Amino acid sequence: MTFAPSTAAAPQLDSEITSVEAAGEYIADSCLVDGPLGRVGLELEAHCYDTADPFRRPSWDEISDVLNALRRLPGGSAVSVEPGGAVELSSPPCDGILPAIDVMTRDQAVLRSTFADAGLGLVFLGADPLRPTQRINPGARYRAMEQFFCATDSGAAGAAMMTSTASIQVNVDAGPEAHWASRVRLAHALGPTMIAITANSPMLGGEFSGWRSTRQRVWGQMDAARCGPILGVSGDDPGTDWARYALKAPVMLVHNPEAVAVTHHVPFSYWAEGRVLLGGRRPTTADLNYHLTTLFPPVRPRQWLEIRYLDSVPDLFWPALAFTMVTLLDDSDAAELAAAAVEPVATAWDTAARVGLQDRRLYTAANRCLAVAAERAPAELTEAMQVLMSYVEQGRCPGDDFADRVIDGGVAATVARLVQGDL
């Protein structure tokens, strides 16, 4: 993520955890930071392709060579590489959504140009429509994650999640503590509606999946204890909800000193209680912090809020989508209207991923939410908002364009044109 941790909430020393109660208190006390709203960070992931052969997955060395040649980006964004070679551009925290969009736009242009010079192209889709899953990032963390998934019932979904999905992530301040509960509830409740709007992954591994957002389908096939929503029964105490979620989730990796997969089921609470020793020892706060980075709920508290449920989408859509997401969360009047609009579909995650705006309730909620955001859009985003609203009014999502082109010209030809920037 792009926000710097709060020094007030960050632990000063690594120490051994001696009880599950201490672990829960640590998580609850540090997961959100009280303060004003306003900062925004964006993260865009894109699949990396060979411009001459869309079936070939560029190697780790090829991508590393490009990044080594990349000059410092003008907006200060960071670049990282996902397990399957997807490239992630992460902006620094900006004072508002418009500066964040500006930074991402400028840095994205430089990144694309540098990759193009190396014969590689970046494609913004929620799932790789063409290539089989394959890890190319040799990092110990990703190697251990792969081993963990292979040892569980989510091996295929884990491989697809790691190497074949891509998203746009929106990061916003937690805001004043008095509003944390309603803010976290709204961030979750918006999920199905925003998934329906952004769905851009109708294919995976060369085949149509039958889902508008195959990326969300893949995440839904993962262990709910690691990837499901974190809200408790009432949703009135997000810190406690996150602590319960994290303590119940099985430990994926342990540093010993590199990341080592835990291939048997060990909830973190068992490790904290001393019922199981991993790496021959009790956990420390560093182990707990690392465990939290291996949990992937659709809304993740990391002192700020990470909104993780949006498909990666092209330039035609992402600025308006990012503006809509931030406006519906950070503008108090817009948030109230949005909460009412999405209440009937607040838990319709699978429906949104499967049929998107073809569901009448999601269609209604999406149009209402976009109308609220559009009323607050500045002049420089008017055209982008109008384009997005036109799609939603027609019941279309970004992936519908891709699907139509595949039906007309085939998946390989369509991806090749995207890679070369012809679409």
Per the CB < 8 A criterion, the answer to whether 54 and 416 are in contact is yes
Tokens of 244: 């319960």
CB neighbour list of residue 233: distance below 8 Å, 6 or more residues apart: none
pLDDT at 9: 46
Choices 3.20.20.450, 3.30.590.20, 3.90.226.10, 3.40.50.720: CATH for 20-410: 3.30.590.20
**Using alpha carbons only, what angle is made at residue 62 by residues 61 and 66, rounded to the nearest 5 degrees?**
110
What is the C-alpha separation between 314 and 123, in angstroms, rounded?
8
What is the C-alpha separation between 212 and 356, in angstroms, rounded?
6
Percent of the chain with pLDDT over 70: 96
Per the CB < 8 A criterion, the answer to whether 177 and 385 are in contact is no
pLDDT at 231: 81
Give me the mean pLDDT over the 41-64 stretch: 97
Domain ranges of the chain: 20-410
What is the C-alpha separation between 198 and 338, in angstroms, rounded?
17
Angle between helices 238-248 and 285-293 (to 10 degrees): 90
Angle between helices 140-150 and 155-164 (to 10 degrees): 150
What is the C-alpha separation between 360 and 77, in angstroms, rounded?
39
pLDDT at 4: 55
What is the C-alpha separation between 389 and 382, in angstroms, rounded?
10
Residue 1 has pLDDT above 70, yes or no: no
pLDDT at 3: 62
CB neighbour list of residue 354: distance below 8 Å, 6 or more residues apart: 210, 211, 212, 217
What is the pTM for the complete model shown?
A: 0.95
The mean of the pLDDT values for the chain is 95
Residue 301: its H or E element: strand 299-301
Backbone angles phi, psi at 311, to 5 degrees: -65, 150
Any idea which residue has 């809020």 for tokens?
305
Per the CB < 8 A criterion, the answer to whether 271 and 250 are in contact is no
Residue 167 has pLDDT above 90, yes or no: yes
Which tens digits make up the pLDDT trace of 104-151?
A: 999 999 999 999 999 999 999 999 999 999 999 999 999 999 999 999
CB neighbour list of residue 383: distance below 8 Å, 6 or more residues apart: none
With left for phi above 0 and alpha for psi between -120 and 50, is residue 38 left, alpha or beta? left
**Taking every pair of C-alpha atoms in the chain, what is the biggest distance, in angstroms?**
61
Res. 422 pLDDT band, cuts 50 70 90: confident
Residue 7 has pLDDT above 60, yes or no: no
Residue-wise DSSP of 302-356 = SBSEEEEEEEP--TTTHHHHHHHHHHHHHSHHHHHHHHHHHGGGTT-HHHHHHHG
Which tens digits make up the pLDDT trace of 292-350?
A: 999 999 999 999 999 999 999 999 999 999 999 999 999 999 999 999 999 999 999 99
Which tens digits make up the pLDDT trace of 206-239?
A: 999 999 999 999 999 999 999 999 986 567 899 9
Q: Looking at residue 178, what DSSP letter applies? A: G
Polymer length in residues for the chain: 423
pLDDT at 174: 98
Give me the mean pLDDT over the 356-383 stretch: 98
| pLDDT, greater one: 35 or 231 | 35
Residue 412 has pLDDT above 60, yes or no: yes
Report helix, strand or coil for 172: strand
pLDDT at 2: 56
Lowest mean pLDDT among 50-59, 160-169, 253-262: 253-262
